[in-house]
Amino acid sequence: MNLPEFCVELSKLSLDNTKRALAILWFVDNQSHGSEFTSGEITREMRDAGLGEPHSTNLHKSLIKSKHVLVSAKKLRIKPTSRETVASWLDALSSGQLPKMDHRSGYISEDIWQGTIGYIGKLALQLNVCYKFAAYDAAIVLARRVIETLLIEAYEGQGVESNIRDQKGDYLLLGGIITDAVDRNRLNLNRDSKRSLKQIREYGNRSAHNRRYIAVKRDLDDLQIGFRVAVDDLLHLANRK
């Protein structure tokens, strides 16, 4: 997110001009530590974003009065000790929203799942964000869930879902489904998909159930190509692509 985009998001909050200016100083410092703006520069950014156009001299005085800025000549920057306070005013901007990122270059590119199954897309978005922000255990568990869901979709798409239901009519756990799909070859998966399904299940089980296992980036990287191939294969078998 660049500064103009941040200002657009900032306009959604009910903040006075002083707090908006402090939020701008917080943002530029977050992007490049120690960044400084004059009150005139802040006023221009606010005006261009439709945040209002406070008088720069009055704004300068109000920022100093807030005690949240450091002043060097005519330049202002956010106090390190005030960063947490200002950030608390912005909590509503991220509440209930995933961080913005380019999902075309995510762990599983949106080119693979976009326009297929809605809830698979939502899981893929979460998976990409977890990978980007180093939540690797969460990412592996989500990858496992994507595979489990797509396997069921594929069985239903091929009209053979009875093979993975127990006597009560409930679907088997992932291990049983993979045994049927891979070892009994019920879905006619390609060779790479078969190998990847077992790996993804194994890694997912470790992250979900092994209290001493902590996933690292390399774990996800080792699984990435196989995961992508398996997702594409299963979407085709589910007649969703």
**Which tens digits make up the pLDDT trace of 171-182?**
999 999 999 999
Nearest to 228 by CA among 143, 122, 145: 143
CATH of the domain at 26: 1.10.460.10
Confidence of residue 2 (pLDDT cuts 50, 70, 90): confident
At which of 94, 122, 147 does a domain end?
Answer: 94
Say which CATH number the domain at 176 has: 1.20.120
Question: 224 is in which domain, residue-wise?
Answer: 103-237
Shared domain for 229 and 115, answered yes or no, is yes
Q: Are residues 138 and 46 in the same domain?
A: no
Given a cut of 90, whether residue 227 has pLDDT beyond it is yes
If DSSP states are collapsed to H, E and C, what string results for 1-18?
CCHHHHHHHHCCCCCCHH
Could you read off the pLDDT of 19-61 as tens digits, one per residue?
999 999 998 888 787 788 999 999 998 888 888 888 999 999 9
Say if residue 90 is in the same domain as residue 12.
Answer: yes
Q: Which of 44, 62, 94 represents a domain boundary (last residue)? A: 94
Q: What total of structural domains would you count in the chain? A: 2
Q: Are residues 188 and 130 in the same domain?
A: yes
Last residue of a domain, one of 63, 94, 125: 94
Cα separation, 67 vs 74, whole angstroms: 15
Structure tokens at 35: 């960044």
Q: Which residue has the tokens 């774990």?
A: 219
Nearest to 234 by CA among 204, 201, 184, 190: 190
